[in-house]
Chains A and B, each alone.
Chain A
């Protein structure tokens, strides 16, 4: 085990037709994973279609034409897991197809699950079950209904909703305000004909694709997978543009939303004006960690521990759009008190009022978090996907070293350019 340091690092092992294939080798896991990502610019015309497609594709493919057939087959493969979903990173919308399956070492027979897994994944993505040469109408209609409920169901998780809503309000004139699962309005006009047309002419041939394989898979077997994917019909591949991050804030906007809730949810959105591949981004990570990234942070210590106003109070970055959001759940009557404490912390950051304890703990917290990511295949993949999109391509150790080099002065230097943009409050309806 001499090359332990090379484990959980990213290797690009193939690139053809706008498909990039990466391998992340690690022998410590019981399972292997295959992740296929389709990338697109976040856009009103396509966002809802991109979100609906995986939902329709997962309903069935040529060899396994129904949900039940796929589920039965996955059980045969020692309980392999297939899933799909949609995320956004900045103004890039990403459709994710995922398989996880037991490593051949633990199946107790000679079957190669890897080959079966990538064949199934490929078939689900490229060979949907059809009716009159388009998607099955019942599948499309049912999944439209499910997607509508998913979009409307955003209010069910109040914490997440309050964070998302704050950023959407803040960026309402920018593509970033588009929800990764699209909108109910756009859903109405989609039918199986139009969706299939979009799938066959745009989604499959023109969206850039990246594939990540993790775990313990021999190169020879990966070649088989590359051969299969090279058969995918591809046209000229679209260029996904990077997200603009600069915006000067003229004045702070206040948005209040009333709902039947018990606890008020306060979210404050900021423009950092720092891009994902800027050197300053490393200072920003440290800034956010000191301010609200863990129990050592100013927000936790002051909003929760000292003032007992909240159970949670944190800050979080949206790397690709250059945003930061602060979030806390409080009694509605404490809103002004909470805001005052929060903005005092922001001021302290600007003035460089950062104790050695806060600074050192923040760096160590980040280091611990980054090293810990190496123990989860999903987190490793998400980390490298972000690296690829940002164009930084730092491995874990490189980023850790960059963060360790950040100084208090670096943090204070960027503090002034972090501007509050929108204060959002979700609160109870008037009685």
Chain B
């Protein structure tokens, strides 16, 4: 059996990579001494893929919002009952999640790893969906959607994406709406499945104290190789460069206002190492501008404009990228204005080289810390994998990223006209 081994001695990690003849790639990151074995089977298909041309067809198909997430729920159902029962009998914990870009099926176990892995690989490749079970699921997912409607942090993020984007499907919640899921039926679900669940569009990752050769043998045996690799044509609406609107507000049962604000990026090359460098650069800049060690953070905190809930992040995916920052504040508009002012000042004075080095060192340390957790490794690995890079590539980026490059990115990203603010106010 052919597989590739790469060691990362500085952080005492190793990865084994195997390519199946179907085009599926499988990875093992061994974690000696860990009890938990965490296996994921993921497809490069998420909530934003709501328009596509199914393989072998000519016409494009627009499917109801929330269908990727709905399909994730439905795959658990098998001809002989729920696959959850089978995992429960094996004593493992199955789960799944759908993001904008991918759908991930997983289990975590401490015993009977091989049986669990076999089950995971089997059920994801064998959908069994009936009209009756689709209707039943609408009640459950309906309550999931209702739960998020009452979640102010979630709402402020979703509303921000709606303010940043005019047409891109990222503006719609992953789970869709009660309205949109009511249109979902068995035919739609199978169309989506047949388009996006070919092994060539998928990957397998195991993190834990396992025998990697055994994993690869199981993958070799279980993954179907039927038919040729289909061409997937994903269709996205043309998204304007400008933001949709600079301000959006919603009222909910909260005690104090909370907000999310962010800058929309307009770049074409978001994948590969370019995207990774850009991600690290923007995150470094966010730390420098508004991180806990920045003068701005201290000022806003002392003035009571932000509190410990304040945080920030940067997302970069195949055809969109944006920063996001926020938390609770009695006056979100003032926070936004102060951040813009700080950005203007940094643009004038330039980045502080010693802060850059210090924060780079800290970020690398915090990156290494992520390797404590099999879940964190898996989660992050999958999200960068579908961008065409590998989680270990971050190490190289932290070691080589320059102040000059970061300065460039500063000027590209933090443009006042690309900033939107989303506020949740008390009823």
Contacts and interface: CB of A to CB of B under 8 A. Distances in A.
User: Are A and B bound to each other?
Assistant: yes
B136 A308 contact: yes
Interface string B118-160: 0000000000000000001111110110110111110000000
- How many of chain A's residues touch chain B, expressed as a range? 35 or more
Contact of B253 (A146, A260, A331): A260
A372 B108 contact: yes
B11 A68 contact: no
Contacts of A26: 33
B109 interface: yes
Contact of B92 (A142, A158, A368): A368
B260 to A, nearest CB: 14
Contact of A372 (B110, B146, B152, B369): B110
Given A79-B363, A106-B10, A365 B91 contact: yes
B230 interface: no
A145 B304 contact: yes
Interface stretch (B80-88, B316-324, B339-347): B80-88
Interface stretch (B15-23, B188-196, B266-274, B354-362): B354-362
Interface string B214-236: 00000000000000000000000
Given A27-B33, A108-B10, A371-B110, A361 B89 contact: yes
Contacts of B31: 28
A153 B359 CA distance: 32
B139 A309 contact: yes
Interface string B224-261: 00000000000000000000000000001111101000
Nearest to A262: B149
A145 to B, nearest CB: 6
B32 to A, nearest CB: 7
A308 B365 contact: no
B255 A71 contact: no
B150 A261 contact: yes
Interface in A350-384: 357, 360-361, 364-365, 367-369, 371-372, 374-377
A237 interface: no
A30 B362 contact: no
Interface in A1-60: 1, 4, 7, 26-31
A74 B296 CA distance: 18
Given A79-B369, A106-B12, A28 B32 contact: yes
A78 B34 CA distance: 24
A75 interface: yes
B92 A309 contact: no
B180 interface: no
A294 interface: yes
A74 B366 CA distance: 11
A149 B89 CA distance: 45
Best-surrounded residue of B140, B151, B256 (most CB of chain A within 10 A)? B140
- How many of chain B's residues touch chain A, expressed as a range? 35 or more
Interface string B259-296: 00000000000000000000000000000000111110
B114 interface: no
Contacts of B302: 138, 142
Contacts of A326: none
A25 B123 CA distance: 39
B74 to A, nearest CB: 13
A75 B147 contact: no
B35 interface: yes
Contacts of A360: 89
Interface stretch (B43-51, B370-378, B411-419): B370-378
Contact of A263 (B141, B147, B369, B371): B147
Given A308-B139, A375-B35, A295 B94 contact: yes
Contacts of B368: 30, 102, 106
Given A71-B291, A71-B293, A30 B372 contact: yes
A159 B144 CA distance: 12
Contacts of B1: none
Nearest to B33: A28
B353 interface: no
A146 B141 CA distance: 36
A357 B36 contact: no
Given A28-B32, A371-B35, A260 B252 contact: yes
Nearest to A366: B91
Interface in B74-110: 82, 84-85, 87-94, 108-110
Interface in A117-176: 138, 142, 145-146, 149-150, 152-159
A66 interface: yes
Given A7-B33, A74-B362, A155-B255, A331 B143 contact: yes
Contacts of B94: 295
B297 interface: yes
B35 A296 contact: no
Interface in A294-316: 294-296, 304-305, 308-312
B380 interface: no
Nearest to B208: A375
B182 interface: no
B253 A68 contact: no
B283 to A, nearest CB: 12
Contacts of B143: 263, 309-312, 329-331
Given A159-B147, A263-B143, A295-B88, A78 B35 contact: no
A263 B252 CA distance: 13
A78 B362 contact: yes
Best-surrounded residue of A149, A329, A331 (most CB of chain B within 10 A)? A149
A72 interface: yes
Contacts of B139: 308-309
B108 A262 contact: no
Nearest to B32: A28
A259 interface: yes
Q: Which 4 A-B pairs have the closest CB atoms?
A: A364-B91, A308-B139, A78-B365, A79-B362
25 contacts: A26-B33, A28-B34, A68-B294, A68-B295, A71-B291, A79-B362, A79-B364, A100-B369, A142-B304, A149-B256, A153-B255, A153-B328, A155-B254, A156-B153, A260-B252, A261-B253, A263-B149, A304-B140, A311-B144, A357-B88, A360-B89, A368-B108, A374-B35, A375-B374, A377-B372
Interface of B: 10-12, 31-36, 82, 84-85, 87-94, 108-111, 136-141, 143-144, 146-147, 149-153, 252-256, 258, 291-295, 297-298, 301-302, 304, 307-308, 328, 358-359, 361-366, 368-369, 371-374, 427
Given A79-B363, A260-B252, A329-B143, 15 more contacts: A28-B33, A75-B361, A76-B361, A100-B369, A145-B304, A149-B307, A150-B307, A158-B253, A260-B253, A263-B149, A310-B143, A312-B147, A329-B147, A364-B89, A368-B110
